[in-house]
Amino acid sequence: MVLAESPLPTDPQSSAVSDGSWTAADGAALYGLDRWGDPYFSVNGRGHVMVQPRGERGGALDLVELVQELQGRDLSLPLLIRFDDILEDRLERLHAAFERAIAQYSYSGRYQGVFPVKCNQQRHVVEQLVETGRRWHFGLEAGSKAELLIALSLIDDPEALLICNGYKDRRYIETAILARRLGRQPVVVIEQAEEVERIIAASQELGAAPFIGIRAKLSARSTGRWGSSVGERAKFGLSIPDVLATVEALRQAGLLADLRLLHFHIGSQINDIAVLKDALQEAGQVYVELTRLGAPMGYLDVGGGLGIDYDGSRTATAASTNYSLQNYANDVVATVRECCEPHGITPPTLVSESGRAIASHFSVLVFDVLGAGALPGAVPEPGAEEPLILRNLRDTYRSITPPPTPDQEGAEARGLERLQEAWNDALKFKDDALAAFRLGYLSLPDRATAEQITWACCQAIAERLAVLPVATPVPEELRALPAALAGTYYANLSVFRSAPDTWAIDQLFPVLPIHRLNERPQRLGSFADLTCDSDGKIARFIDRGQVKPLLELHALRPAEPYWIGLFLGGAYQEVMGNLHNLFGTTNAVHIRLADGGGYLVDHVVRGDTNAEVLEAMEHNPDQLLERLRLASEAAITRGSLKIHEARRLMAHLRTSLGQTTYLQG
C-alpha cells in the first residue's frame, strides 16, 4: 500500500513531513485551530500544538513537550491541563472590553462582573479568579447553599458583589442577611414570587435586610439550546405582574430601599447577538420602571450567555457566535445607555455573570488513543492455486496502484474513469466471491482474502482521490469511499466523565491530534471511549458552522503514542461529568508560565483511584479484597489455583485500587 509507508521516525517530536505538499499551517487550517484557537492555541513548524497562555503578550509552551514532561512526573493520561494564565487573560479581556465600551459610549456607570461558581467550582479555579479579579472588585455568583458557602468564604473584598441566585429557603436567606453584617455584599435575587415573603419575614426577625434583586422573566425571543430559558414559561424569574406585586410587598414591608438590582438571564451560549439586544432593551425598560416606582436600584445584571466560538465560524450556529466579546460589551453598554438617557435616569453599574466565556479556554484535556479498529489490513501474499475470483481481484488492485501518467491532456479525467471502473469491478468480484462461498466453492480463508483485497482497493482509490486538486469533480460513489474506510479510534477516556455535554446536549468541542499536524492525515475516524456504553463516543466534530461525523486522523504507528486534545472544555464539563462504569476524575495540573521562561506546575490534582470510586458507591475496598483472598484460599485448597498465582492475583487487585481508573498501558 502507498499509505505512509515512507520511512517515518517514531519520535513524536520529529519534524519529518510525510507529504511535502502538506505543512503545519494546513493542519491548523484543517482543524480550525487558526480560527477558534486565536490567541491561545496555534501550531509550530514541528506540527505540535503550541499554547500561548498570555495571548499576544508573549510566552509559549509546546503542548507535546509539556505532556511528555508531565508524564515524566508520573502523571498519566488522560490529563486535564489547566493554564491559569489563560483564566487570568480571559478575565482581563472581559474587563478591557467593557472599559473600552464604557469609554466609547461615554457611559457614566461602571462594569462589575461576577463569576457564576456553577461553571467550575474547583477550589484552585475559584481561588484564582477571586485573586486575579480583586483589582476590579470582581465577585461571585452562587446558585445553591454549597456555592454560597464557597462565595462567602473566598470573597473578602467588601466591594465585590456576591449574587445569590437559585431557589432559596429561609436559612439561605438568613445566611445572606447575616453575611452583610460580615462586611460582604450579598444580593438576594428573588427568583420566585414566594421568596418575597421569606425575605420579609427573615429581615423582620433579624432586624436587617439583604441587598435585594429581582430576576425578571423577559418575553424576548431566544434561540438555540437554552431558548426555553426565557419567555413566560421559563423556569426562573418573575413575570411582570409578579414584579409589580413584589415591589408593592417590599414597599409595605419597608424594604423597597434595599431593592438594588434587576437581573435577567436568557440562557447560556447566546449564538445570535440580536437575541441579546432584544432582551437588553426589554430589561432596560423594566429597570427604568423600577426606578420610577421608587426603588433606588443601581445595578443591572445581564446574566450569563456570553458565548464561545467553538468552531471559529463566527456564525449564529450552535457551536459559534455571530459576535465578539467587544461587540457584546458594546451592545450591553450602548443599549442600557439608550434606555436610561431619555428618562434622565442614572445609568446603572453593569453586572454580567459570564461563566462559559471566562472558564472555557483555560483547560485542555489530552488523551491517548489505545488502538484503531476496523481498518483494512494489508493484501495477503497469493497462494499457489488461487481461484479465478481472487486473481481477478488482484488484477483490479494492481490496476489502481500505479501512479497516473502525468502531464497528459485529460489524464486526470481518464484516471478518474479508470478508478470508477476499478471500483465497480472490485465490488462485482467481491459479490461473486460471497456467492461462491455460500455455494461451497470458496474456502473461508479465500473469502477472507477476497474481503481484504476489496478493502485494499477501496483504500488505494481513496488515497488516489486524496491528492487530487480540491475542485476535481469526483463521482458521488467514489466520494463516499473515505467514509466507508473510517476507523474507530479507541480513546483512553470516559466521555461521561470528561466531556459529558458531547453526550447530553450534543455540544461540540474542538478535538484534534496535538502532534503530527505537519503530516497529511490519511484516515477518517471517530472516537470510542472506555465505557461499555454505545453512547460513549465522540462522533460529531466542528466543521465551520456545520457538524461532521468523522474527523481527519493519522494512521497509528507502532510503539508511538497518538495524543488527542479536547479544547475549550473548561466550563461545566468537570462537574457535570459522572462516574459511569466507575471511571473517576482524571489527573489534573495547573500550569503557569514562569517569569524567566518555561513553566511552573502550580498544583497537581490526582485523579480518583479505583478505591475512591468504589467507596463513592459505598463499597469497602478492604472487604472486597478480603473476600477475594478467601476465595483464592479455597481455590488453592481445591487445587485449581497455585499459591504464586494467588499472590499475583492479589497483588494486581491491590495495586489497581491505588491507581487511577484509566488504562496505563
Ligand X SMILES: *Cc1c(COP(=O)(O)O)cnc(C)c1O
User: Grid coordinates in use for 153?
Assistant: 468564604
The verdict on 303 binding ligand X (CB under 6 A) reads yes
| Whole-angstrom distance, CA of residue 578 vs CA of residue 584 | 8
The verdict on 320 binding ligand X (CB under 6 A) reads no
| Whole-angstrom distance, CA of residue 89 vs CA of residue 52 | 11
The stretch among 112-120, 238-246, 335-343, 652-660 that binds ligand X (CB under 6 A) is: 112-120
In the bound complex, what is the minimum distance in angstroms from residue 185's beta carbon to ligand X?
Answer: 17
The verdict on 304 binding ligand X (CB under 6 A) reads yes
The verdict on 284 binding ligand X (CB under 6 A) reads no
DSSP state of 480: T
659: region left, alpha or beta (phi > 0 left; psi from -120 to 50 alpha): beta
In the bound complex, what is the minimum distance in angstroms from residue 569's beta carbon to ligand X?
Answer: 13
In the bound complex, what is the minimum distance in angstroms from residue 59's beta carbon to ligand X?
Answer: 27
User: Grid coordinates in use for 472?
Assistant: 476535481
The stretch among 180-188, 197-205, 262-270, 398-406 that binds ligand X (CB under 6 A) is: 262-270
The stretch among 36-44, 303-311, 614-622, 629-637 that binds ligand X (CB under 6 A) is: 303-311
- Say if residues 28 and 43 touch (Cβ distance below 8 Å): yes
* Residue number with CB closer to ligand X (85 or 501): 501
Instruction: Out of 165, 203, 396, 498, point to the residue binding ligand X (CB under 6 A).
Output: 165
The stretch among 271-279, 302-310, 597-605, 638-646 that binds ligand X (CB under 6 A) is: 302-310
* Residue number with CB closer to ligand X (236 or 287): 236
Contacting residues for 429 by C-beta, under 8 A, at least 6 apart? 389, 392, 393, 396, 450, 454
* Residue number with CB closer to ligand X (163 or 364): 163
- Say if residues 558 and 485 touch (Cβ distance below 8 Å): no
The three-class DSSP label of residue 326 is helix
DSSP string, 217-256: PP-----STTGGGSSTT-SSSB-HHHHHHHHHHHHHTT-G
In the bound complex, what is the minimum distance in angstroms from residue 355's beta carbon to ligand X?
Answer: 3
| Whole-angstrom distance, CA of residue 337 vs CA of residue 331 | 10
The verdict on 306 binding ligand X (CB under 6 A) reads yes
In the bound complex, what is the minimum distance in angstroms from residue 264's beta carbon to ligand X?
Answer: 9
In the bound complex, what is the minimum distance in angstroms from residue 276's beta carbon to ligand X?
Answer: 11
DSSP state of 213: E
| Whole-angstrom distance, CA of residue 98 vs CA of residue 111 | 7
* Residue number with CB closer to ligand X (28 or 308): 308
The three-class DSSP label of residue 141 is strand
* Residue number with CB closer to ligand X (260 or 356): 356
Q: H/E/C letters for each residue in 394-459?
A: HHHHHHHCCCCCCCCCCHHHHHHHHHHHHHHHHHHHHHHHHHHHHCCCCCHHHHHHHHHHHHHHHH
What's the farthest any 2 CA atoms get from each other in the chain? Answer: 101
The verdict on 116 binding ligand X (CB under 6 A) reads yes
In the bound complex, what is the minimum distance in angstroms from residue 606's beta carbon to ligand X?
Answer: 28
Q: Which of residues 493-512 bind ligand X (CB under 6 A)?
A: none
Contacting residues for 454 by C-beta, under 8 A, at least 6 apart? 393, 426, 427, 429, 430
The stretch among 88-96, 301-309, 558-566, 602-610 that binds ligand X (CB under 6 A) is: 301-309
The stretch among 64-72, 200-208, 263-271, 581-589 that binds ligand X (CB under 6 A) is: 263-271
- Other CB atoms within a 10 A radius of the CB of residue 40 amount to 23
The verdict on 17 binding ligand X (CB under 6 A) reads no
Nearest residue (beta carbon) to ligand X: 304
In the bound complex, what is the minimum distance in angstroms from residue 236's beta carbon to ligand X?
Answer: 7
String of contacts with ligand X for each residue 543-572, x by CB under 6 A: ----------------------------x-
The verdict on 587 binding ligand X (CB under 6 A) reads no
In the bound complex, what is the minimum distance in angstroms from residue 27's beta carbon to ligand X?
Answer: 30
- Alpha-carbon dihedral of residues 509, 515, 520, 522, nearest 10 degrees? -70
Task: Report which of 427, 431, 430 is spatially closest to residue 419, judged by C-alpha positions.
Answer: 427
Q: Which of residues 63-82 bind ligand X (CB under 6 A)?
A: none
String of contacts with ligand X for each residue 345-384, x by CB under 6 A: --------xxxxx---------------------------
- Say if residues 539 and 548 touch (Cβ distance below 8 Å): no
In the bound complex, what is the minimum distance in angstroms from residue 116's beta carbon to ligand X?
Answer: 4
Q: Residues touching ligand X: how many (CB under 6 A)?
A: 18
User: Grid coordinates in use for 379?
Assistant: 493484501
Crossing angle of the two packed helices 194-206 and 240-252, in degrees rounded to 10: 20
* Residue number with CB closer to ligand X (43 or 119): 119
User: What sign for the dihedral angle of Cα 394, 395, 396, 398?
Assistant: positive
CA 6 to each of CA 1, 17, 553: distance values in angstroms, whole numbers, following the listed order:
11, 10, 18
Q: How many helices (H) and strands (E) does the chain have?
A: 23, 23
The stretch among 91-99, 238-246, 264-272, 383-391 that binds ligand X (CB under 6 A) is: 264-272
In the bound complex, what is the minimum distance in angstroms from residue 269's beta carbon to ligand X?
Answer: 6
String of contacts with ligand X for each residue 134-153, x by CB under 6 A: -------x------------
Instruction: Out of 46, 95, 265, 580, point to the residue binding ligand X (CB under 6 A).
Output: 265
In the bound complex, what is the minimum distance in angstroms from residue 122's beta carbon to ligand X?
Answer: 15
| Whole-angstrom distance, CA of residue 88 vs CA of residue 187 | 25
User: Grid coordinates in use for 288?
Assistant: 427604568
* Residue number with CB closer to ligand X (32 or 305): 305
Contacting residues for 431 by C-beta, under 8 A, at least 6 apart? none
Instruction: Out of 118, 184, 337, 590, point to the residue binding ligand X (CB under 6 A).
Output: 118
| Whole-angstrom distance, CA of residue 231 vs CA of residue 94 | 28
The verdict on 119 binding ligand X (CB under 6 A) reads yes
User: Grid coordinates in use for 468?
Assistant: 487530487
User: What sign for the dihedral angle of Cα 650, 654, 655, 656?
Assistant: positive
Residue showing cell 431593592? 259
* Residue number with CB closer to ligand X (303 or 607): 303
- Say if residues 539 and 549 touch (Cβ distance below 8 Å): yes
In the bound complex, what is the minimum distance in angstroms from residue 568's beta carbon to ligand X?
Answer: 13
* Residue number with CB closer to ligand X (272 or 608): 272
The stretch among 47-55, 114-122, 279-287, 372-380 that binds ligand X (CB under 6 A) is: 114-122
* Residue number with CB closer to ligand X (165 or 271): 165
* Residue number with CB closer to ligand X (122 or 268): 268
In the bound complex, what is the minimum distance in angstroms from residue 132's beta carbon to ligand X?
Answer: 17
| 246, amino acid identity | T
Instruction: Out of 113, 305, 500, 513, point to the residue binding ligand X (CB under 6 A).
Output: 305
* Residue number with CB closer to ligand X (305 or 569): 305
Contact residues: ligand X, CB under 6 A: 116, 118-119, 141, 165, 265, 268-269, 303-306, 353-357, 571
